[in-house]
Amino acid sequence: INLEEEYDVIHVMQEGWRGRLLLVEHKRTRHEVVLKTIHKESTSKLEFFREFHYNYYLSPHINILNAYDVAFQAGDYYIFAQEYAPFGDLTSNLSETGLGEANVKKIAPQIVSALEFMHSKDLVHRNINMDNILVFNIDFSEVKLCDFGATRKAKSLLKRKTISLPYAPPEVVDTVQNESFYASTKQDVWQLGVLLYILLTGALPWQKADITDPRYLEYVQWKKRKTLKTPKRFSNFTARALKMFKRLLEPNPEKRSNVREVYKYLEDKWLVRPMKRQDSEIDNQSVCYSTYSIHSSKAEKDRVLFALKAHGIETTNHRNDKIVYIEI
């Protein structure tokens, strides 16, 4: 169809390497929606319809972004319609000390519920991060999981896909080029654990879940009881919170819990004390933001990049660059 004949473009919410996100108004119904446009050079028709299908199929859940029954081609783009999140994503809401324990405890059960629903359908999201959780109420009482481009059926054989390093579980990081691995709901559990850590602290637990990363090695040695000293980056968590993270961030996927584990700890205190800026700057690295998110504003990303640069932190340099990926 002709995009300009059907819709009035209110503004371009974000533009990235794969496509654009447009806030539009349908001319006939005057209904505002978001059009996710994906450039044909960055995806196949099969991949596009798979993402659209999963998003539409999962839309009935209250904590999954609604996709409308509208998908079409226009010029060089595949396009489908979604609902609009007025308060952006978690990336654009996060401070350098996190979101605060109370807010994280509002968010956590909503994301767990969405993932439970997906897992009950034998689907694995595979890309849980701050950019892919959208905020509908400023008090975080309503958030929704989005972006199902990486979603696959559990036990699907995967090969040579890209992953976000800080969130990737060790069994995926360990997969070398040309090797295959199977999609598993346990991969979502690990990513959920990393997400909760970031939201509570405003920092990454490690850059990658590999023993070549000193912070991850410190965590693994503590987890295996080779040392009794709690890792620096986990020192502000209560005993109950540490138990939760041990279950979610279990290096062995066969021993890793399911997402429902989080429910057991919602009534417990998680932080010993409220996070302070110096708590999130352990090892001089407080980077927890992606430099690319189709749901965050340009101004917000510029602010984040400026702050990181001022602290001497290396990033992928420009907001139009992709999030840090590795080939596997």
The Cα 288–Cα 308 span in angstroms is: 10
Whether 103 sits among the annotated catalytic residues: the reply is no
**HEC states along the chain?**
CCHHHHEEEEEEEEECCCEEEEEEEECCCCCEEEEEEEEHHHCCHHHHHHHHHHHHHHCCCCCECCEEEEEEEECCEEEEEECCCCCCEHHHHCECCECCHHHHHHHHHHHHHHHHHHHHCCEECCCCCHHHEEECCCCCCCEEECCCCCCEECCCEEECCEEEHHHCCHHHHCCCCCCEEECCHHHHHHHHHHHHHHHHHCCCCCCCCCCCCHHHHHHHHHHCCCCCCCCHHHCCECHHHHHHHHHHCCCCCCCCCCHHHHHHHCCCCCECCCCCHHHHHHHHCCCCCCCCCCCCCHHHHHHHHHHHHHCCCCCCCCCCCCCCEEEC
Closest Cα to residue 272, out of 317, 302, 237? 237
Give residue for tokens 């992709």: 322
Catalytic residue (one of 63, 103, 127, 236): 127
Q: Which amino acid is at 33?
A: V
* Distant-in-sequence, close-in-space partners of 8: CB < 8 Å, separation ≥ 6: 24, 25, 27
Which residues are catalytically annotated? 127
